[in-house]
């Protein structure tokens, strides 16, 4: 199922199950995408995370129920997935700027209607993309689990943490002081940022990684193997992170929706960074996004 249709079907499913216990995994299962790719595509196309969209729609519907029925606040809270009236009132007040009792008495509410997804034609500059078959390859790196809802804000902090802890000494030209620093140097760790959707529960693994050249895998690091696949390679020129984020948005808003030849496959994507030429803040810095794809049947 192509991305545009998947996001539309995801919205339909969420609308039909606003009063049920629905997770990002449940929604992803309905549209045959991994939770990671669904969350990424949904967020870039709509501006909302899957969980955020469900939460906002429930709080809007809760306000409508309070206005149009005489149901008790506690019943409305339970209907939309809140375990206590206190947690419901807190979330409700933050969203609407008024308490449930104030809304029932006529206070204004924050309207949040179902989203409608349409395909639009953007710009006139063609994206620099090529489809490249790759043999299986391995990467080695530092792993960490992230929540789909907060990953964009938390992953840059992870890079800062790893650079400060392991890369600073090596980048200064010093001899590696421990096995992790040795592996970092030998495998050019930092060349890749790898997202792997194999955790479940609304989470995914992220690796600050390099191409595995063999040898010891130090404690705190892992090796991951990519199978043989076709990859869509999107080259990107410009300072990081703005250039990559902009390209990422264009991939999921312009290239994938309605693509007549290719659709997503697999459970991982790769950010590639040029570790040899230039600084990441340079206006002509070269990076890329690799997305596994397959031809549509």
Q: Calculate the alpha carbon distances from 58 to 65, 95, 126, 137, 277 in Å.
A: 10, 11, 40, 44, 49
Output the pLDDT for position 136.
Answer: 92
Exposure on the CB side of residue 52, measured as CA atoms within 13 A: 12
Output the pLDDT for position 198.
Answer: 83
Mean pLDDT per block of 10 residues along the chain (297 residues) reads 82 95 90 84 86 94 94 95 94 95 93 77 62 93 89 88 88 86 92 89 89 92 93 91 84 82 86 87 91 88
Residue among 197, 218, 252 nearest 43 (CA): 252
Q: Rounded to an integer, what is the distance from CA 220 to the centroid of its chain?
A: 24
Output the pLDDT for position 129.
Answer: 87
Residues with Cβ within 8 Å of residue 132, at least 6 apart in sequence: 230, 231, 233
Output the pLDDT for position 121.
Answer: 46
Quickly list H helices, the chain. Answer: 3-16, 24-31, 35-46, 50-68, 73-79, 85-96, 100-104, 151-162, 168-171, 179-186, 242-250
- Domains in the chain and their CATH numbers? 3-104 (1.10.10.60), 129-295 (3.20.80.10)
Q: pTM for this one?
A: 0.72
Output the pLDDT for position 119.
Answer: 53
């Amino acid at each position: 199922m192509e991305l545009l249709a998947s996001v539309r079907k995801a919205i339909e499913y969420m609308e039909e199950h606003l009063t049920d216990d629905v997770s990002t995994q449940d929604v992803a299962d309905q549209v045959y995408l991994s939770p990671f790719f669904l969350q990424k595509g949904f967020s870039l196309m709509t501006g909302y995370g899957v969980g955020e969209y469900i939460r906002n729609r429930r709080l809007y519907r809760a306000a409508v129920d309070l206005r149009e029925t005489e149901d008790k606040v506690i019943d409305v809270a339970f209907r939309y997935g809140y375990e206590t009236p206190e947690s419901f009132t807190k979330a409700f007040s933050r969203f609407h700027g008024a308490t449930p009792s104030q809304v029932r008495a006529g206070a204004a509410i924050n309207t949040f209607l179902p989203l409608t997804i349409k395909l639009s034609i953007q710009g006139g500059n063609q994206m620099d993309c090529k489809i490249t078959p790759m043999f299986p390859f391995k990467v080695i790196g530092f792993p960490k689990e992230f929540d789909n809802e907060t990953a964009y804000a938390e992953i840059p902090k992870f890079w800062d943490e790893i650079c400060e802890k392991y890369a600073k000494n090596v980048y200064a030209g010093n001899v590696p002081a421990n096995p992790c620093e040795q592996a970092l140097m030998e495998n050019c760790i930092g060349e890749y940022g790898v997202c792997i959707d194999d955790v479940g529960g609304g989470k995914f693994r992220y690796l600050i990684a390099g191409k595995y050249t063999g040898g010891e895998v130090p404690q705190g690091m892992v090796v991951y193997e990519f199978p043989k696949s076709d990859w869509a390679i999107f080259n990107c020129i410009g300072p990081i992170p703005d250039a990559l984020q902009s390209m990422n948005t264009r991939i999921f808003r312009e290239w994938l929706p309605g693509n007549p030849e290719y659709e997503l496959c697999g459970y991982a994507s790769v950010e590639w960074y040029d570790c040899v030429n230039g600084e990441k803040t340079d206006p002509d810095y070269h990076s890329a996004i690799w997305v596994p794809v397959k031809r549509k049947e």
